[in-house]
Amino acid sequence: MLCVNTAFTSFIPRKRTCVFPSKSTTPISCTLQGTVAEPKSTAAAEPLLLNAVRGVEVERPPVWLMRQAGRSENVDLVVEISLQPWHVFKPDGVILFSDILTPLSGMNIPFDIVKGKGPVIFDPIHTDAQVNQVREFVPEESVPYVGEALTILRKEVNDTAAVLGFVGAPFTLASYVVEGGSSKNFSKIKRLAFSESKILHSLLQKFTTSMARYIQYQADNGAQAVQIFDSWATELSPVDFEEFSLPYLKQIIDAVKKSHPNLPLILYASGSGGLLERLALTGVDVISLDWTVDMADGRRRLGPNIAVQGNVDPGVLFGSKEFITDRINDTVKKAGRGKHILNLGHGIKVGTPEENVAHFFEVAKSLRY
């Protein structure tokens, strides 16, 4: 059975063929912004995305788009869906078709994706006894198909693009299992955080240990970079983020960097404009900005040593091709030369015209610094 969840990433059209417009777009010249570190001139036989993140000089920003999330234990199907955008648009990043909630069943947290409702946790966690029943995630045993799919993807793509894995961050995962699914006001997890914080901290620690191990597993099986989604952490005030999200993110990054020091880690949290400086304290290599942050402001606030990803408004893809081109150029110019992955500020919206997605990639791949 194939289950789909669009809570974190969104729809990419799945047609096998498309007609690209003629390449009439004039490459733009991007001036180096003062807050961007000077790219290194060292060449490396690696995907463009990895070189850009590491500060190697590249001719243009790499581009990929966040896409639909879902669950399937069929390796062939996971590989096929993962490769569909790559076959059509040839992005510089190919992300695994999976879902951030995939580890829950292996942690003794049963759930399902209900059509029209999204994820439903069968037994929401509110007590210390329930936390004690949560098992540490062992991906080799619980999701061997993920490793198999990543290995095949790596061979199929063959370094013409970077293979991306992803996981959910501890606070976001905890939000789902405490709330019982998606939430609009997050009252249950905030009640737990502010009245019985010890229980929440115990749950967060279990997710932290498990997600560090899951990232390592993905890297060992072919992922060349991993994106961490902490979308619901932005529901926290800055002071509460520092208690309930930041320390656990830092633990994950520290653990992964010890075992896989060269693995780029990307952190995405929608609506994170008020937390950018704190996100940088996690130690990740890339901060993915949503469209509510001006790219130039984001660069200035994050400093020269961290790469950025994003951040065109997904709604722009409903505009004219000229409008799309202008917004791409504006974003890339503000990002400056190097250490930038061009992307949307979130996933593609359902109903986005496929020809506009094709145009986005055509323009992006015609750019030259």
Residues 173-219 have pLDDT tens digits of: 999 999 999 888 999 999 999 999 999 999 999 999 999 999 999 99
Per-residue confidence (pLDDT) for residue 265, from 0 to 100? 98
pLDDT-flagged residues of the chain (< 50): 1-44
Per-residue confidence (pLDDT) for residue 115, from 0 to 100? 84
148's tokens: 């198999």
| Euclidean distance between CA atoms 63 and 343, whole angstroms | 6
Per-residue confidence (pLDDT) for residue 15, from 0 to 100? 36
Q: Taking Cα atoms as reference points, which of 366, 348, 321 lies closest to residue 69?
A: 348
Is residue 246 within 8 Å of residue 281, measured between CB atoms? yes
| Euclidean distance between CA atoms 257 and 55, whole angstroms | 18
Q: Alpha carbon of 111 to those of 11, 77, 237: distances in Å?
A: 23, 21, 28
Per-residue confidence (pLDDT) for residue 118, from 0 to 100? 86
DSSP string, 64-102: -----EEE---HHHHHHHHHHHHHHH--SEEE-S--TTG
Phi, psi of 20 (to 5 degrees): -85, 140
42: how many CB neighbours lie within 10 A of its CB? 10
Q: Which residues pair with 288 in a beta bridge?
A: 268, 309
Per-residue confidence (pLDDT) for residue 69, from 0 to 100? 76
| Helix (H) or strand (E) run with residue 328 in it | helix 321-335
Per-residue confidence (pLDDT) for residue 1, from 0 to 100? 41
